[in-house]
Chains A and B, each alone.
Chain A
Amino acid sequence: MHELSLTQEIVEAIADRMGDAEIECVRLEIGKLSGVVVESIRFCFDLVAEGTIVAGARLEIDEPSGHARCRECASEFDIDDPIVLCPTCATANVDVLSGRDMRIRSVEVRTACAPPAAARTTPGSG
Chain B
Amino acid sequence: MCTTCGCSDDTGVRVTDPGAPTHQPHTHDHDHDHGRTVLLEQKVLARNDDLAGRNRAWLAERAVVAVNLMSSPGSGKTTLLERTIRELGSDVPLSVIEGDQETLFDAERIRATGCRVVQVNTGAGCHLDAQMLSSALRTLEPPQRSVMFIENVGNLVCPALFDLGEDGRVVVMSVTEGADKPLKYPHMFRTADVVLLNKVDLLPYVDFDEQRFEGSVRRVNPAARVLRISATRGDGMSGWYDWLRERATDRPR
Contact = CB atoms under 8 A, between A and B. Distances in A.
Interface of A: 1-2, 5-6, 9-10, 12-14, 17-19, 21, 24-25, 28, 30, 35-36, 82-83, 85, 91-93, 101-116, 118-122, 124-126
A117 B9 CA distance: 12
Q: Which 8 A/B pairs are nearest by Cβ-Cβ distance?
A: A125-B16, A114-B8, A2-B158, A35-B187, A102-B44, A119-B7, A108-B35, A82-B186
A112 B219 CA distance: 54
B43 A105 contact: no
Interface string B33-46: 11111111111111
B165 interface: no
Given A2-B126, A92-B218, A113 B41 contact: no
Given A2-B162, A107-B37, A116-B28, A122 B187 contact: no
A115 B35 contact: no
B6 A118 contact: no
B138 interface: no
B211 interface: no
> Which bucket holds chain B's interface residue count?
35 or more
Given A5-B129, A9-B44, A122 B38 contact: no
Contact of B14 (A85, A108, A122): A122
Contacts of A5: 125, 127, 129, 158, 162
A30 B221 CA distance: 22
- Which has the most chain B C-beta neighbours within 10 Å: A14, A18, A122? A122
A14 B157 CA distance: 26
Contact of A17 (B27, B28, B42, B222): B42
